Amino acid sequence: MKILVTGGAGFIGSAVVRLAVARGHHVVNLDALTYAACLENVASVAASPRYAFEHADIRDRAALAHIFATHAPDAVMHLAAESHVDRSIDGPGAFIDTNVTGTFNLLEAARTHWQAQGRPEGFRFHHISTDEVYGSLGPVGQFTEDTPYDPRSPYSASKAASDHLVRAWHHTYGLPVVLSNCSNNYGPYHFPEKLIPVVILNALAEKPLPIYGDGANVRDWLYVEDHAEALLLVLQQGTPGGSYNIGGENERSNLELVRTLCTLLDARRPRGQGSYADLITFVPDRPGHDARYAIDPARIRQELGWRPSVTVEQGLARTVDWYLANEAWWRPLLARQGVGERLGVGA
Ligand code: NAD
């Protein structure tokens, strides 16, 4: 299959690109290379004859038309997005431009291509989205695919809007789409402004480990390589027009998560007299901070037979080891757009 992956130089997109090339697919990686991108993430496949890179912006309709005409993909996996909730609060405009208008542009380019090819049934447009579109849960319950949308941040509202566009293109034009909404990803190549890398890197630098509010906010944690496996399954076996919730079955409060990271770090790099947990610092809460997200993964488990392969403790241990071994990857990124100074606790 020839797959056009958008956002393939980002965190999740690069895991998808690495896996898809390893599975024998041809991949065209379309990425604008924003501050969040890192082409080193796909260095391991860059020399493959099944890999091509297109430096392009999904806000640029002419560039998209040219790329579809040049590569004639069998499928699109759309991951390009502005993805950091804190940045969406500081500057929502870029989130509307890329996540909403950019998705509209990509849908139109895909529809034009699909129609020109004679509407092949096997074509897929897979939109990768977030569980944040469903809003916030109380202490019990889980999001299912039928949970009404109730986004609360500029980021989640922009993703909800793009989900609606993708479904509308299916119902109106018949474009064979699939959607997936996942929980918080973590793992290797996670950009250093998100909660888990912030904690690891701040701990190594003996800096405070910032936690919003009282740390009671609960998230489900999904190991990125498990997610990439699930995404390829949804692409290849998902029902057209259908959506799939993808979760790690690993709910943790932010405070529990950070304490686990500290324990893992203590075991690998003992910190003098104390524990890294001594560096935990509570900071004023994010405006509109959702209390709890939790995913009911029954549909993807029953229809496609997918389950996560690691617990959060196993995945976090791998992640900590990866950051300890890959300073050459993360150190230069700290200088980008003030990332090093930002108390980014974006989860
Ligand atoms: P990321 O920020 O690491 O990567 C996004 C990539 O998109 C970057 O390489 C960036 O250069 C590219 N990009 C941004 N704007 C672009 C534009 N206008 N044109 C072309 N490329 C552009 O994001 P991520 O964490 O890998 O997330 C990937 C997708 O998964 C996003 O759609 C996000 O909403 C969704 N998602 C992520 C998570 C998570 O935990 N990271 C959870 C749920 C859903």
> Which CATH number characterizes residue 95's domain?
3.40.50.720
- 266 located within any domain: no
Residue pLDDT, tens place only, 77-133: 999 999 998 899 999 999 999 999 999 999 999 999 999 999 999 999 999 999 999
In a domain, 163, yes or no: yes
Confidence of residue 202 (pLDDT cuts 50, 70, 90): very high
pLDDT tens digits, residue range 216-274? 999 999 999 999 999 999 999 999 999 999 999 999 999 999 999 999 999 999 888 89
Cα–Cα dist 241/146, whole Å: 13
Q: Which single residue is written with the structure tokens 């300073």?
A: 327
Q: 54: which 2 tokens?
A: 């297109």
Q: Is 132 an annotated catalytic residue? A: yes
**Per the domain annotation, does 259 fall within a domain?**
no
* pLDDT value at residue 346: 41
Mean pLDDT in residue range 16-37: 97
Domain housing 118? 2-191+221-251+293-312
Residue 258 lies in a domain: no
Catalytic residue among 82, 86, 131, 220, which? 131
Complex ipTM more than 0.95, yes or no: yes
On the question of pLDDT at 347 being above 60, the answer is: no
Domain-located, residue 103: yes
Overall number of domains in the chain: 1
Ligand 1 mutation pick, 38, 79, 179, 329, max ligand atoms within 8 A of CB: 79
Cα-to-centroid distance, 81 and ligand 1 (Å): 4
162, 103 contact by CB (below 8 A): yes
Res. 337 pLDDT band, cuts 50 70 90: low
Q: Is residue 81 part of a domain?
A: yes
Residue pair 264/186 in contact (Cβ under 8 Å)? The answer is no
- Ligand 1 atom 14, closest CA: 81
Say whether 108 is catalytic.
Answer: no
Residue 277 placed within a domain:
no
Q: Is residue 34, in this structure, part of any structural domain at all?
A: yes
* CA of 220 relative to ligand 1 center, distance in Å: 18
* pLDDT at res. 345: 42
CB 296, CB 144: distance < 8 Å:
yes
